[in-house]
Structure 1
Amino acid sequence: MTLPVALSGTDVIGQAKTGTGKTLGFGLPLLERVVVPADVEAGRATPDQLTDAPQALVVVPTRELCTQVTNDLLTAGKVRNVRVLAIYGGRAYEPQVEALNKGVDVIVGTPGRLLDLAGQRKLDLSRVRALVLDEADEMLDLGFLPDVEKIMAYLPAKRQTMLFSATMPGAVIGLARRYMTQPTHIRAVSEDGEGATVANITQHVFRAHNMDKPELVSRILQAEGRGLAMIFCRTKRTAADIAEQLERRGFASGAVHGDLGQGAREQALRAFRNGKVDVLVCTDVAARGIDVEGVTHVINYQTPEDEKTFLHRVGRTGRAGNKGTAVTLVDWDDIPRWQLINKALELDFHEPVETYSTSPHLFEQLNIPAGTKGILPRAERTRAGLKAEELEDLGETGGRGGRGGRAAQAAATEERPARTRTPRQRRRTRGGSEVAAEQAAVSPVAEAEASQAPAGDEPRRPRRRRTRVGAVPVQSAPAVAAEAPVAPVAPVTPVVEAPAVAAPAAVTPVAEEAPAKPRRARVRKAVQSAPEPDFQMAPLVEPAPLRPRRPRRIVETAPEPDFQMAPPVEPVRARRPRKAAAAPVTPVAEAPAVAVAEEAPAKPKRTRTRKAAEAAPVAAEAVAVAEEAPAKPKRTRTRKAAAAPVTAETVPVAEEAPAKPKRTRTRKAAAAPEA
């Protein structure tokens, strides 16, 4: 149904059940429309139409599907010699770039690596005339949609676009029409009816406990007539765990999930296709498009997320008219999710039967021999296993799982050169002090011991002893002990005669006895006897530079008492005796005393009241003169009043006294009654 429409260059939306040949539905039209040298020789094309740039692009969601589609197209295009290249992540860039430079007709790739090479201008998509989105509902999902839009921006506006998938929701079709021009929607329906799954697949749904699932799966794998089996898990950790458990139970199992390197993933798939492994435990990475002949059983170890995932998982069996068995294990927590899937697909398993590994109906429905246990008998372990398949080094680019998988990592570890540095060099800093400082301090000792040590001894041994001692004064003790054997012993003995030098006398006998004993004993004795004179010698050298520094610091801090100088109040105290010098005015006659009393009204009210009570009555003229007095300068009036003779004529001048300071007026007023 698809071939005539696609060959005419019309946009197509193809939808059909799993295992019905969708890959060749879009692959054959691509291979037929590509211009190759054979077309020029046959006269169907001109030499100008030949190009080394890609003429068709197929975008797929997973790496495994990418390699499978590439192999199918290479097989179909072998007669016309069409150049097909797979571009996906997890491999080295260089081989893919070299193949692009040589020339490619059809490219099959994943979005990530396609965008990388296109962004680096190593992939030219301007000559693409046909675009195919395999598993279109996945490619137009929110996860891949931004990348797909960026890829379409590199393509020419005039092109053919084809979308193919087993599940095509209405929302995806509406979204796809934005990138297509008057597409033709082709939906293939089988003769047996409108069922979503292939009729050749027998469905079994059991309610199983999570702790009993490994045992239950082990017994299902021993059913009669079982060929290859695929077990689908929802998480990567679960897939790795189940693969390991099955391997311990005797099954030849492999794993495919995102945490493995690309080399390990392809190794497991090759072993599964070649029959070396008969159980493949995988996540939904391998749920779409993977076509392996001889898969008879598909087990959903965990309930899928939605009905689309369920259809793609189950579709790995019963392909191309073959029969298959699908077993779904539903945990108690997954019952609501399964009921939604059951309703959407119109199945008859709304309430799964509670099943355990010992349930009789499990053995009856799946043709499991009676008495089967969860461990595969040794007589039936005939598969070569995963290790029999060679692990290919793909030059991985830092993806999870490491470069080339575990085998490549082990090989890299073996090829690593041996360490040239010995562990003793690490221990040199265990004492907490710097290595360079220790070497500089004890270099004479190292030289002395190295000159006497045998040729086979290592020079690092004395350094370890010094590091263990750790104290700085002890370093000088080995120095004295080491210098003794180097210098002549005879000239050292006269030093004992001096009474002031007592330390060398104690060290000298130890140095004399040392040469007869082993080298280590000599150093230990020196360390035991030397500490006392060494501790006395050390302070003799250190205090010398420290003593002159202390008085300097005291001189620098001397300015502190300067800040305690007499406050500015003292000069005021010195002025008081000067004002008291005006006291000789006391022998004043009665008239001046009266004048002073008359001047009182010029003072503040309180002062006037007190003085008025003490002084005699004042004349009206004197009061008038006293009121005018404050307008003149105070100091001038005071000095003139003190210098003028005291007579009756000078009374008006005396009346001007109120301009003087308050204290002076008070004293004169107090002296007036005595006069």
Structure 2
Amino acid sequence: MTEFTDLGLSPTTLQAVADTGYTTATPIQAQAIPVALAGQDVLGIAQTGTGKTAAFTLPLIDRLQSGRAKARMPRALVIAPTRELADQVAASFEKYAKGTKLSWALLIGGVSFGDQEKKLDRGVDVLIATPGRLLDHFERGKLLMTGVQFLVVDEADRMLDMGFIPDIERIFKMTPPKKQTLFFSATMPPEITRLTKQFLRDPVRIEVARPATTNANITQLLVKVPSSDPKAKRLALRALIEKAGIETGIVFCNRKTEVDIVAKSLKVHGYDAAPIHGDLDQTQRMKTLADFRSGALKILVASDVAARGLDIPAVSHVFNYDVPHHADDYVHRIGRTGRAGRTGITYMLVTPADDKGFDKVIKLIGSTPDEEKLDLDYSNAVTVKREGDRKRGGRDRDRGERGERSERPARGRGRGRERAEETVEAPAEAVAEIVDTPAMAEERPARERRPRREREPKAAAPAPTAVEAERPARAERPERPVRGVQPVRDRDDDDRRVVGFGSDVPAFLARPPRGAK
């Protein structure tokens, strides 16, 4: 075990570390900090939860203590893929740099541009940002990259998943070529390898664990759900939460809509749960995370936007409600527990529809989790699909919202429109009563046609008065056709419409041609 005092950090930084209660460095910290203090580029590969944030925060603070920032020209730049991760890095700087005069600014979406611009105008030593908001400020002319001496890219593989690699390449080209780069990632796909070869100068590769490996302190369990019905999965999730007796836990879903549904379902059944995903307002996301960190919130239902960046040591359980689309996300999801030497327990719900995604996860981690048996009766309810209205019936207690509905098909050329279906949950013995048999169809009486109404004869026009009779009759003028409206023609005796102009000859056809005598 390596002590922080053996890494070459300044007394001020060591005091800040001691105030947090840490004395022993993790393997990635023990190997990366001395290399970063020496001014060399670092390519760090380590699984999530191993302390990568402190591995670049501590040497950065030490090296920036000499010097002063200029307006709109940060000296160090830290790029993070999500707002939550950027906020976590900012909190780490605030914690470890409290004994120095270094300043920092956080540039993320969902926050006013004006407040961020004021900080940039005063000058900041460390700028922590997401790629999109950083480029927005740069294009507005509020930021200059020519003074960047240190560039840190955190969670680079997540940048790849979110489509930020072109932005990262652009940021690299905007910064000076003579700078120190610290590049950290949990996995190393080929695209990330190409990026490091292009922009890093003879980096020291530090790999403390095989890529995409899981923490040995985490107990991984598997729960097989015999049905892909959402209600069956929610039933299994509630049974696991009740059985585990969790202190704090995170439930991961693949879709944002599923996050909301699962969170509402847990609330309806008496569990303290709240959702967090990218569509929520930034203020609400920050408040939800603050409540979860403080212990005021027990269960956090999240999308993969929160799989990276949540550094909450007290998380005891992680539930994979959905098998992740990308196998790498499984490693990051379960890495939210078992942090800083603690132990953790994770569950993954697997349905028959998840076979392909589950095989990818098993192939990545190299082992199969132990199966957890649940004594549940999944046959209490059967999903019956009816064609008809999109919304029907009252509030569903399990779903926590009005009846589920199938997703509306995307509109576009070459895509058919499917009829909306509504899922109605009914007991198995009641399914036979809903089915319409041929015998029931024969017993129904034929529908009778409604008789037509007899039109009442029009009343005769009143006789003209003496004054009206004395008025001279107006000269009859032909009725002018309305522009753009086809006049209705009379019918022949055989009830066929007249084709063409009929007996009406337009005036322009009656005119003699030009030049005719």
TM-score, L = length of structure 2? 0.66
The offset of 1:537, in angstroms, is: 11
AA aligned to 1:12 is V
Q: 8 Å contact 1:74–1:82 — kept in the other structure?
A: no
Alignment of 1:382-401 (within 5 A): none
C-alpha separation in 2, matches of 1:345 and 1:265: 31
Which residue does the alignment assign to 2:301? 281
Which residue does the alignment assign to 1:34? 64
Look up the SS of the partner of 2:287 in the other structure.
Answer: helix
Which residue does the alignment assign to 1:246? 266
Which residue does the alignment assign to 2:222? 205
The offset of 1:549, in angstroms, is: 8.4
The offset of 1:225, in angstroms, is: 4.9
Which residue does the alignment assign to 1:148? 168
Which residue does the alignment assign to 2:74? 54
**What are structure 1's unaligned runs of at least 5 residues?**
40-44, 360-374, 377-530, 569-675
- Does the C-alpha gap of structure 1 residues 539 and 356 become closer, same or farther in structure 2, counting only changes over 3 Å? farther
- Does the C-alpha gap of structure 1 residues 558 and 146 become closer, same or farther in structure 2, counting only changes over 3 Å? closer
C-alpha separation in 1, matches of 2:84 and 2:213: 24
Which residue does the alignment assign to 1:335? 355
Look up the SS of the partner of 1:2 in the other structure.
Answer: helix
The offset of 1:266, in angstroms, is: 1.6
AA aligned to 2:42 is V
Look up the SS of the partner of 1:168 in the other structure.
Answer: coil
Alignment of 1:496-575 (within 5 A): 547=474
AA aligned to 1:357 is L
C-alpha separation in 2, matches of 1:22 and 1:558: 89
**What are structure 2's unaligned runs of at least 5 residues?**
1-30, 379-396, 399-460, 481-505
Identity of aligned residues (%): 36
The offset of 1:302, in angstroms, is: 0.6
AA aligned to 1:196 is T
The offset of 1:175, in angstroms, is: 2.8
AA aligned to 2:222 is V
Compare relative contact order (CA 8 Å, sep 6+) and give the higher one, 1 or 2. 2
Alignment of 1:267-416 (within 5 A): 267-349=287-369, 355=374, 357=376
Which residue does the alignment assign to 1:7? 37
Which residue does the alignment assign to 1:173? 193
Matching of residue 16 in structure 1 with residue 46 in structure 2: yes
Please give the per-residue CA displacement for 1:134-192, whole angstroms capped at 9, x wherever unaligned.
Answer: 00112245711111122223211211111112222355223321111111110124xxx
TM-score, L = length of structure 1? 0.51
Alignment of 1:358-507 (within 5 A): none
AA aligned to 1:109 is A
Look up the SS of the partner of 1:13 in the other structure.
Answer: strand
The offset of 1:259, in angstroms, is: 2.2
C-alpha separation in 2, matches of 1:6 and 1:227: 38
Look up the SS of the partner of 1:31 in the other structure.
Answer: helix
Which residue does the alignment assign to 1:235? 255
Look up the SS of the partner of 1:222 in the other structure.
Answer: helix
Q: 8 Å contact 2:69–2:125 — kept in the other structure?
A: no
From 270, 281, 287, the equivalent of 1:261 is 281
The alignment of Structure 1 onto Structure 2 pairs a total of residues equal to 374
Please give the per-residue CA displacement for 1:496-535, whole angstroms capped at 9, x wherever unaligned.
Answer: xxxxxxxxxxxxxxxxxxxxxxxxxxxxxxxxxxx999x9
The offset of 1:354, in angstroms, is: 7.2
Please give the per-residue CA displacement for 1:645-665, whole angstroms capped at 9, x wherever unaligned.
Answer: xxxxxxxxxxxxxxxxxxxxx
The offset of 1:79, in angstroms, is: 0.8
Look up the SS of the partner of 1:167 in the other structure.
Answer: coil
Look up the SS of the partner of 2:243 in the other structure.
Answer: coil
The offset of 1:333, in angstroms, is: 1.2
C-alpha separation in 1, matches of 2:350 and 2:511: 93
Structure 1 runs of 4+ off > 3 angstroms? Answer: 352-359, 535-541, 546-551, 557-563
Q: 8 Å contact 1:216–1:356 — kept in the other structure?
A: no
Look up the SS of the partner of 1:221 in the other structure.
Answer: helix
C-alpha separation in 1, matches of 2:187 and 2:222: 22
The offset of 1:536, in angstroms, is: 6.9
- Does the C-alpha gap of structure 1 residues 75 and 117 become closer, same or farther in structure 2, counting only changes over 3 Å? same
The offset of 1:358, in angstroms, is: 5.7
Q: 8 Å contact 1:84–1:106 — kept in the other structure?
A: yes
C-alpha separation in 2, matches of 1:297 and 1:324: 6
Q: 8 Å contact 1:230–1:297 — kept in the other structure?
A: yes
C-alpha separation in 2, matches of 1:335 and 1:558: 77
C-alpha separation in 2, matches of 1:559 and 1:169: 76
- Does the C-alpha gap of structure 1 residues 558 and 337 become closer, same or farther in structure 2, counting only changes over 3 Å? closer
The offset of 1:17, in angstroms, is: 2.3
The offset of 1:202, in angstroms, is: 0.6
Calculate the aligned-residue CA RMSD, in Å: 3.5
C-alpha separation in 2, matches of 1:92 and 1:236: 25
Please give the per-residue CA displacement for 1:308-341, whole angstroms capped at 9, x wherever unaligned.
Answer: 1110000000000011000011111112321221
- Does the C-alpha gap of structure 1 residues 288 and 561 become closer, same or farther in structure 2, counting only changes over 3 Å? closer
Which residue does the alignment assign to 1:116? 136
AA aligned to 2:44 is G
Matching of residue 102 in structure 1 with residue 122 in structure 2: yes
Look up the SS of the partner of 2:242 in the other structure.
Answer: coil
Look up the SS of the partner of 2:325 in the other structure.
Answer: coil
Structure with the bigger percentage of strand:
2
AA aligned to 2:165 is L
C-alpha separation in 2, matches of 1:559 and 1:321: 96
The offset of 1:297, in angstroms, is: 0.3
From 196, 218, 223, the equivalent of 2:213 is 196
AA aligned to 2:276 is V
- Does the C-alpha gap of structure 1 residues 194 and 104 become closer, same or farther in structure 2, counting only changes over 3 Å? closer
Please give the per-residue CA displacement for 1:530-585, whole angstroms capped at 9, x wherever unaligned.
Answer: x999x9799799x88x947869x9xxx9999998xxx99xxxxxxxxxxxxxxxxx
Shifted more, 314-323 versus 162-171: the winner is 162-171
